């Protein structure tokens, strides 16, 4: 009991021993997280208008997302080094400042190249923000309350994508895509000011030696592999460039891991995988993100391409599910604190499998209401599983490895997200192409050709959802091997002993 009271007192003091208001610190971080995620969501909706504005192809326009993702993936492992060399407050303010500069450049851009530069600068800030926020939340809360804290973070992470498509649709209809960036600037400025007053230094500094070879290996390895996965969706898995960059990425990442294991003070501590709980929950969470991506990609395409609905209507259909998921993140966090990960992950994934199965039979007569309901149920299942899995992974580590664990989890999400997108797009494209009618039909019966193309597209989507369902079942099978043996009291004891040492 004495140890618990001591830990509760410590979470309200920074590394300099000064007291701070934990809630105000959390608000500062949540605003930053919200605006960076909202930025990504609204851009996806605006991409068609941006392509038309600059008169560019879809493959060129996609670089706005691909470049952002690549820089994100490069910055996440580097953030561990930055967290140990730069104070928490300065690093968070730097991340928001960089994100703000990038946003201003995007808002004022008059060419695609300038817009792309703005997106890259944004990604530098956003890439630091995600692992920094996760690490801070885990440090300022004791293990038995981390579920609720991460649930709150999950609520913000889900709320931004929930309102993003609808908000973007309204702004684009009334003005143009530039205003999507203009609207973010006041929020960013507000957060920088708020951070200056209420953000505190809560992560102990170690001033590690910079290993430039590790930085180069990390940048080249993760950059090449994610670029290869991202390109596979458009170019196909047989393209020599795709195969080459993926192989280079895997080889360089293997060298990076080998170097980290050989170093006494590595840039990214790979020994976090010694924890069975961390390894299992990270694997399940990464696979689960592919399942989540599946519906996010396929449902809007189905609504707009097959049913002929607008982007705004598509956003409204997805809105209830995203809002419910945001609320459920908070609930699942609190349930995790009481029941552990296994009792939440298994029911959540079962619910996800059940709600995904009907998407295998999508057709032209599928009602919007049924899609809205099923989409919402899927995300209840995902919310029950995803944040408890991440919190369980972090709880399995001592405090000194939290920053490293957070970076590993976020990097795994980036890699699985890119891989999942590439696999699902490839499945949909290949199946659709193999079932497409002969082009000669366009000369004799155009209506029949169009109908055949729609049927082929439906076949591609249904097959993709079969793959998504299979992946969800794989998640379910693995989740039965989860263990809740290491309880919060054990973790508190370990961390207390670590602090005393």
Q: 309-335, pLDDT tens digit by residue? A: 776 777 778 788 878 887 888 788 788
Question: In the predicted model, is pLDDT for residue 104 greater than 90?
Answer: yes
- How many angstroms separate the CA atoms of 61 and 55, rounded? 10
| Average pLDDT over every residue of 423-432 | 81
Q: How many CB atoms lie within 10 A of CB 340?
A: 22
The answer to whether 297 touches 314, Cβ cutoff 8 Å, is: no
Question: In the predicted model, is pLDDT for residue 182 greater than 70?
Answer: yes
What pLDDT does 317 receive?
82
- How many angstroms separate the CA atoms of 294 and 155, rounded? 21
| Average pLDDT over every residue of 286-290 | 85
What is the reported pTM? 0.77
| Average pLDDT over every residue of 36-51 | 76
Higher pLDDT residue, 4 or 451?
451
Higher pLDDT residue, 186 or 86?
186
Which residue, 213, 191, 180, 250, is CA-closest to 32? 191
What pLDDT does 59 receive?
63
- Across the chain, what does the average pLDDT equal? 80
Question: In the predicted model, is pLDDT for residue 167 greater than 60?
Answer: yes
Question: In the predicted model, is pLDDT for residue 295 greater than 80?
Answer: no
The answer to whether 415 touches 74, Cβ cutoff 8 Å, is: no
| Average pLDDT over every residue of 251-259 | 91
pLDDT above 90 covers a percentage of the chain that reads 12
**Look-up: residue for tokens 């180069």?**
216
Question: What angle, rounded to 10 degrees, do the helices at 22-54 and 184-198 form?
Answer: 160
- How many angstroms separate the CA atoms of 393 and 272, rounded? 10
- Matching CATH number, 271-496, of 2.60.40.10, 2.60.40.420, 1.10.1780.10, 1.20.1250.20: 1.20.1250.20
The pLDDT confidence band at residue 156, using thresholds 50, 70 and 90, is confident
What pLDDT does 186 receive?
93
What pLDDT does 252 receive?
92
Question: In the predicted model, is pLDDT for residue 25 greater than 80?
Answer: yes
Tokens of 420: 């999942």
Residues in contact with 194: Cβ distance below 8 Å, sequence separation at least 6, in sequence order: 24, 27, 28, 31
Tokens of 207: 């001033």
- How many angstroms separate the CA atoms of 258 and 281, rounded? 23
| Average pLDDT over every residue of 478-499 | 57
Residue 439: exposure state from Cβ atoms within 10 A (0-12, 13-18, ≥19): exposed
Ranking 24-28, 58-62, 441-445 by mean pLDDT, the lowest is: 58-62
Q: In sequence order, what are the beta bridge partners of 251?
A: none
What pLDDT does 499 receive?
39
Rounded to the nearest 5°, which phi and psi values hold at 13? -125, 140
Determine the Cα angle at 228 with ends 226 and 232, to 5°. Answer: 120
The pLDDT confidence band at residue 100, using thresholds 50, 70 and 90, is very high
Question: In the predicted model, is pLDDT for residue 493 greater than 70?
Answer: no
Question: In the predicted model, is pLDDT for residue 338 greater than 50?
Answer: yes
What pLDDT does 272 receive?
87
- 374-396 pLDDT tens trace: 888 988 888 888 888 888 888 88
The pLDDT confidence band at residue 490, using thresholds 50, 70 and 90, is very low
Question: In the predicted model, is pLDDT for residue 183 greater than 70?
Answer: yes
List C-alpha distances in Å: 326 to 43, 163, 211, 316. Answer: 20, 11, 39, 16
Residues in contact with 498: Cβ distance below 8 Å, sequence separation at least 6, in sequence order: 398, 399, 400
Q: Where are the domains of the chain?
A: 10-208, 209-266, 271-496
What pLDDT does 118 receive?
93
- How many angstroms separate the CA atoms of 251 and 267, rounded? 18
Question: In the predicted model, is pLDDT for residue 426 greater than 60?
Answer: yes
- How many angstroms separate the CA atoms of 419 and 294, rounded? 11
- How many angstroms separate the CA atoms of 243 and 425, rounded? 17
The pLDDT confidence band at residue 94, using thresholds 50, 70 and 90, is very high
List C-alpha distances in Å: 311 to 44, 244, 277, 300, 461. Answer: 11, 36, 41, 8, 18
Tokens of 177: 């895509």
What pLDDT does 99 receive?
93
Question: In the predicted model, is pLDDT for residue 412 greater than 90?
Answer: no
Higher pLDDT residue, 155 or 396?
396
Question: In the predicted model, is pLDDT for residue 5 greater than 70?
Answer: no
CATH superfamily of the domain spanning 10-208: MFS general substrate transporter like domains (1.20.1250.20)
Question: In the predicted model, is pLDDT for residue 10 greater than 60?
Answer: no
Is it true that 10-208 and 271-496 share their CATH fold? yes
- 197-227 pLDDT tens trace: 888 887 877 777 778 888 888 888 888 887 8
């Amino acid at each position: 009991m004495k140890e618990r009271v001591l830990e509760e007192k410590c979470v309200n003091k920074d590394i300099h021993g000064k007291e701070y208001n934990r809630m105000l610190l959390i608000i500062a971080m949540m605003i930053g997280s919200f605006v960076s995620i909202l930025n990504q969501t609204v851009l996806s909706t605006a991409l068609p208008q941006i392509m038309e504005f600059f008169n560019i192809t879809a493959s060129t326009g996609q670089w706005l997302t691909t470049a952002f993702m690549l820089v994100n993936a490069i910055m996440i492992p580097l953030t561990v080094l930055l967290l140990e060399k730069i104070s928490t407050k300065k690093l968070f303010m730097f991340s928001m400042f960089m994100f703000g500069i990038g946003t201003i450049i995007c808002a004022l851009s008059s060419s695609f190249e300038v817009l792309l530069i703005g997106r890259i600068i944004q990604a530098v800030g956003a890439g630091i923000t995600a692992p920094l926020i996760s690490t801070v939340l885990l440090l300022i809360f004791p293990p038995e309350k981390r579920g609720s804290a991460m649930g709150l973070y999950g609520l913000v992470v889900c709320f931004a994508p929930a309102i993003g498509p609808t908000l973007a649709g309204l702004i684009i209809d009334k003005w143009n895509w530039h205003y999507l960036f203009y609207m973010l600037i006041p929020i960013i400025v507000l957060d920088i000011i708020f951070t200056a007053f209420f953000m505190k230094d809560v992560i102990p500094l170690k001033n590690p030696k910079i290993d430039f070879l590790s930085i180069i290996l990390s940048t080249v390895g993760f950059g090449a592999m994610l670029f290869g996965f991202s390109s596979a969706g458009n170019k196909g898995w047989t393209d020599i460039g795709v195969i080459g960059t993926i192989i280079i990425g895997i080889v360089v990442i293997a060298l990076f891991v080998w170097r980290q294991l050989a170093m006494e003070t590595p840039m990214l501590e790979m020994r976090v995988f010694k924890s069975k709980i961390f390894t299992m929950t990270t694997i399940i969470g990464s696979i689960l993100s592919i399942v989540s991506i599946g519906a996010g990609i396929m449902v809007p395409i189905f609504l707009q391409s097959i049913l002929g609905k607008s982007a705004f209507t598509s956003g409204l259909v997805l809105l209830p599910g995203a809002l419910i998921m945001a609320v459920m993140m908070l609930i699942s966090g609190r349930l995790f604190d009481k029941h552990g990960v296994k009792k939440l992950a298994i029911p959540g994934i079962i619910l996800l499998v059940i709600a995904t199965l009907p998407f295998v039979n999508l057709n032209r007569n599928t009602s919007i209401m049924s899609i809205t309901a099923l989409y919402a149920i899927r995300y209840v299942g995902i919310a029950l599983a995803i944040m408890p899995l991440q919190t369980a992974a972090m709880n399995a580590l001592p405090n000194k490895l939290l920053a490293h664990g957070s970076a590993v989890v976020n990097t795994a999400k980036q890699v699985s997200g890119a891989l999942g997108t590439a696999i699902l797009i490839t499945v949909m494209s290949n199946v659709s192409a193999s079932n497409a009618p002969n082009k000669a039909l366009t000369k004799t019966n155009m209506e029949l050709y169009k109908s055949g193309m729609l049927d082929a597209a439906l076949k591609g989507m249904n097959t993709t959802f079969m793959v998504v369902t299979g992946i969800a079942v794989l998640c379910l099978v693995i989740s039965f091997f989860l263990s809740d043996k290491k309880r919060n009291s054990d973790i508190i004891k370990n961390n207390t002993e670590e602090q005393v040492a």
